[in-house]
Amino acid sequence: MKSAVETLSPTRVKVSVEVPFSELEPSVKKAYRTIAQQVSIPGFRPGKVPTRLIDQKVGRGTVLQEAVQEALPEQYMAAIREHDVKAIGRPEVEVTELNDGDHVSFTAEVDVRPEITLPELDSISATVDELSIGEDDVDEQVGQLRDRFATLKGVDRPAADGDYVSLDLLATIDDEEVEGGTANGLSYEIGSGQLLDGIDEALVGMTADETRTFASKLVGGPHAGEEAQIAVTVKSVREKELPELDDEFAQLASEFDTLDELRADVRGRVERNKKLEQAYQARDKALESLLAATEVPVPEGVVTEEVEFRKENMGEQLAQMGSNLEQYLAAEGKSAEEFDAELRTNAEEAVKTQLVLDALADAEEVGVNDQELTEEVVRRAQMAGAQPQQYADQLVRSGQLSAVVADVRRGKALSLVLDHASVTDTAGRPVDIKAVLNPAGEPQAEGAAEAVEAADDAESAPANSEG
């Protein structure tokens, strides 16, 4: 094999390869075996058709094309390894010569990682919000915990903000019932803003068995973005009764004996969560500073692939919700051009970030050991609700394990940035984030668990009801 590389731009090269026919022979034989299984010639079993009859039946050219398609990926990979081409994205391959018995020539244009000059890491700085914890923060968390132990009691009065109602919904457009626009027996907290626009205003003042109609834009289904008439019927009204904030409540809701002890623990959790938020902010700001100080020519082909991937992924997510991109854009009030421009900007930023962190990881010889990879796979499996071994097997089958390794490596590179960056708060005080984020730039186990617990507390509705 002979090969050469031509630089087309800082982010793209053209690889020219000439393969002697002798190196193609194994692929030619394999092509004959494959086609022999596919053709049917009287007197010969599948797979036993002689090559001369295959040439007569489908043509020698078809066999060569099959062989070339099978051999090209390996020859291409050998060429880029020989010239140490840091290829990214899919190559555009063109067969330029196919001389039977002599040689095959092809070219492959592919995006490459550009040469990047990194700034001194000590020059990177980030300013984050000052850490401030007030009694209001503690009161809010205690209030959320208190909500979890509230009871719902049926009342015979008009509904008000904060009440829970059982309701039926019916959506119509031009007096025709909307497909999927009916719901019965929904439990809803008035004022939560979790259903249709206008429903909170409609529900205030309603009593059991009363029906009102209001106009609202639908957010899902085949009529997403269209205005519909929504008939809402209240079936029952219940008010939330909160437990008294005292030592008895502390014993009910926690392992503490007194309310003061509970509040002290809550304050500690709030502080740790705010430190985590501060650390995330520092990470993002340091990365912004690094990108701003680094000139990065972005490979157009890779950006296009990223845009296509994001668009396809979003389409799949919308389809799972019974919607599509057109309906989403209508609901968001965006044009297709605005959406595409936003998608491209985000894709360019993502590609630039990956290139800079990869360059830094190379410069600092950052590696990923088995333990780090295992921990990342376990973390992702937990987020996906899957068994770690099954999740790992799926990564291997889909060829995505290398992408996970790359992500961990980039996280470690970003952690290096944070190690050297000057991080201060708005009051000018230095901020130490090492106690909060692990070497991969993710939250330490304790902080992560408490963040999840705080989120669960915030989203939980009253678990008990009466009447």
327-372 per-position pLDDT tens digit: 888 888 889 999 999 999 999 999 999 999 999 999 999 999 999 9
One domain, residues 85 and 163: no
pLDDT-derived band at 451 (thresholds 50, 70, 90) equals very low
Residue among 347, 357, 297 nearest 124 (CA): 357
Residues 420, 279, single domain; the answer is yes
pLDDT tens profile 114-133: 999 999 999 999 999 998 89
- On whether the CB atoms of residues 128 and 278 are closer than 8 A, the answer is yes
- Same domain, residue pair 286 and 398: yes
User: What is the tens place of the pLDDT at every residue in 57-105?
Assistant: 888 888 888 889 889 999 999 999 999 999 998 899 999 998 888 898 9
Domain shared by 212 and 271, yes or no: no
Asked whether the predicted pLDDT for residue 161 surpasses 50, the reply is yes
- What's the whole-number average pLDDT of the chain? 88
Contact 414, 357 (CB under 8 A): yes
Domain presence at residue 393? yes
Whether 148 contacts 462, CB under 8 Å: yes
Q: Could you tell me if 220 and 367 lie in one domain? A: no
Decide: 171 and 218 in contact? Cβ < 8 Å: yes
pLDDT in tens, 189-239: 999 988 899 999 999 999 999 999 999 988 777 787 789 999 999 999 999
Is residue 270 included in any domain, yes or no? yes
Q: Report if residue 88 sits inside a domain.
A: yes
In a domain, 308, yes or no: no
Judge if 61 and 163 occupy the same domain.
no
pLDDT given for residue 34 in this prediction:
86
Residue 82 and residue 175 in one domain:
no
Q: Looking at the structure, tell me whether residues 396 and 448 fall in a common domain.
A: yes
- Tell whether 304 is covered by a domain: no
Give the residue from 55, 81, 112 where a domain finishes. 112
Residue 233: which domain range? 151-241
- Tens digit of each residue's pLDDT (9 = 90 or more) over 134-152: 999 999 999 999 999 999 9
- The total of structural domains in the chain comes to 3
Write out the DSSP string of 4-49. Answer: EEEEEETTEEEEEEEEEHHHHHHHHHHHHHHHHHH---TTS-TT--
Same domain flag for 352 and 459: yes
Query: Residue 319 has what pLDDT?
Result: 87
What CATH number should be reported for the domain holding residue 19? 3.30.70.1050
Same domain, 448 and 410: yes
In a shared domain, residues 289 and 365: yes
pLDDT computed for residue 441 by the predictor? 59
